[in-house]
Amino acid sequence: MNIKHNIMLENLLLNIDAGTIDWSRAQFALTAIYHWLFVPLTLGLAVIMGIVETNYYRTKDEFWKTAAKFWQKLFGINFAMGVATGIILEFEFGTNWSNYSWFVGDIFGAPLAVEGIVAFFMESTFVAVMYFGWQKVSPGFHLASTWLTGLGATISAWWILVANAWMQYPVGCEFNPDTMRNEMVSFAEVALSPFAISKFCHTVTSSWIIGAIFCVGVCCWYLLKKRHTKLAIESMKIGAGVGLVAALLAGATGHKSGMDVAQVQPMKLAAMEALYDGGTEQGLKLVEGIEVPYGLSIMATNDPKGYVPGINNLLNGYTTPDGKTEPSADEKIARGKKAIEALAAYRKAKAEGADEATITQHLTTINENMKYFGYGYVKDKADLVPPVWINFWAFRVMVGVGCLFILFFAAILAVTYRWPKFLFGKRDITTLPAWHYWLAILLIPLAYIGSECGWLVAEFGRQPWTIQDMLPTWASVSDLQSSSVIITFFIFLALFTTMLAVEINILLKQIKKGPEL
């Protein structure tokens, strides 16, 4: 293709319906939110059922086999929905974000392919052995299959989070003006990005919390009904143990994630804190008007005197106390436009066979301004501010729920092991007042809310970018009529909601039925 040919085509093109962008965002958000209802339970229950079956393998006690089969049955009911919603997410990068797929497919496609080859096949192969292999394979092979199912799911999480982390912090790539896309130059930088490592650790440990509270909640229901008491007590010990470790790790990795965000996505952090005018010694707001002194500076920089820019600072430009200057949004937009204009000139010069000096001059201009390329598509700097109230409250709910679960799991472990003894007297886990059990059961949806809020912060905080500073949503979308996306949005909404209702009902009935004795 040549430039002249492309220009001729332009009149046929560029009639995109602006509603397509918002509906495509809505559809992706819908799919991701639903997907994340099922994945964390898969990751969390995988650990619990692995430990339970390991106990069976070690003791040969049929009780543990019954318990393992019970948790695996609940795992299976949930697993199918995770798989179903996951396939939509992968293909939506192509169906709804085709420009994105070309612009960064050279980098972004690789983790998805590795995920398929390395993780999905492991998961799907061994999950079948786990379900149907009890009578067909040795106990050791079966146990290995159970752990490999969980490992496959976790490796899958690794690669998809590598891909997601790259969208938040694009590394290991260079723009190629001849192919008009970004190209990978270091797979190690992409696959082992510090942002990806923090994100993976935080996401997986928070998923273990979901698995743990689900396990504890189910056990509490049995204790409330005085059924399957042994299964409830033994499983609760495992669930609460996993939950406490996970909650503490989620807290630690969450802090590391916060520091990463402060470094590479300062606008997201400012939105999370509703911080309009930043500076040094910034306090962390618990809610509007109540703050922890120096808290935000410590969270962002590990230093009580650390500098944290606010939204206005980021829009208008600022200089940190150590002299580092960040340009204003207007300057970034101007430089982005310069990069785009230079790219157009470079393409034209090459197509027309211009001399080497002219081509090199355009190339130099592109390289000098490439850092702000994405800003060239921004028409109004106000578009650079993500929705503040969603980020502010979602962040607080996530952190609050996480802290609550540290206390909750510690309390469950204390009451399960009756330690310290003086506190419990003759009471044990089976003789608590009913509201204790109800509290644990009601905390299950709260854990999901906290987990979803984490993703709201991650994704709303990145807006308007699909890839931070590189490509905004309106330059990433596919050429579709909004009506098409609206129809598929509501089809998926109806489908996922119906299937979720079926799944919850089946899970409840299965729990009510209890293990096969």
- What residues between 258 and 277 interact with another protein by CB under 8 A? none
| C-alpha span between 332 and 121 (Å, rounded) | 44
| C-alpha span between 119 and 351 (Å, rounded) | 44
69 lines the binding site for another protein (CB under 8 A)? yes
Residue 397: CA atoms inside 13 Å, Cβ hemisphere, count?
19
135 lines the binding site for another protein (CB under 8 A)? yes
Sign of CA dihedral 343, 347, 352, 356: positive
Write down the residue that tokens 């509007």 correspond to.
288
Neighbours of 41 (CB within 10 A): 28
Q: How far is the CB of 303 from another protein (least distance, A)?
A: 38
Q: Which of 319, 360, 430, 498 binds another protein (CB under 8 A)?
A: 498
Instruction: Give bridge partners of residue 472 from the DSSP assignment.
Output: 465
Q: How far is the CB of 152 from another protein (least distance, A)?
A: 10
33 lines the binding site for another protein (CB under 8 A)? no
Q: What is the signed CA dihedral for 101, 105, 108, 110, rounded to 10 degrees?
A: 130
Nearer to another protein by Cβ, of 106 and 291: the residue is 106
Q: How far is the CB of 417 from another protein (least distance, A)?
A: 32
23 lines the binding site for another protein (CB under 8 A)? no
Cβ-contact 248, 283 below 8 angstroms: no
| C-alpha span between 484 and 429 (Å, rounded) | 54
Q: How far is the CB of 418 from another protein (least distance, A)?
A: 34
Q: How far is the CB of 494 from another protein (least distance, A)?
A: 11
Q: How far is the CB of 66 from another protein (least distance, A)?
A: 10
Binding to another protein (CB under 8 A): which residues in 351-390? 377
Q: How far is the CB of 470 from another protein (least distance, A)?
A: 12
Residue 414: CA atoms inside 13 Å, Cβ hemisphere, count?
12
Cβ-based burial of 108 (10 A; exposed 0-12, middle 13-18, buried ≥19): buried
Local structure of residue 294 (DSSP, 8 states): T
Per rule CB under 8 A, count of chain residues that contact another protein: 110
Q: Which of 60, 61, 132, 321 binds another protein (CB under 8 A)?
A: 132
141 lines the binding site for another protein (CB under 8 A)? yes
Q: Which of 136, 226, 324, 426 binds another protein (CB under 8 A)?
A: 136
Q: Which of 26, 29, 54, 183 binds another protein (CB under 8 A)?
A: 183
Alpha-carbon 94 to chain mean position: 19
110 lines the binding site for another protein (CB under 8 A)? yes
477 lines the binding site for another protein (CB under 8 A)? yes
Nearer to another protein by Cβ, of 274 and 511: the residue is 511
Q: Which of 60, 187, 352, 497 binds another protein (CB under 8 A)?
A: 187
Q: Which of 28, 97, 166, 375 binds another protein (CB under 8 A)?
A: 97
Q: Which of 22, 106, 234, 331 binds another protein (CB under 8 A)?
A: 106
90 lines the binding site for another protein (CB under 8 A)? yes
Nearer to another protein by Cβ, of 107 and 262: the residue is 107
Alpha-carbon 474 to chain mean position: 22
Q: How far is the CB of 340 from another protein (least distance, A)?
A: 5
Q: At what angle do helices 62-95 and 19-59 cross, to 10 degrees?
A: 160
Q: Which of 196, 242, 308, 475 binds another protein (CB under 8 A)?
A: 475
Query: How would you write 53-82 as a 3-class SS string?
Result: HHHHHHHCCHHHHHHHHHHHHHHHHHHHHH
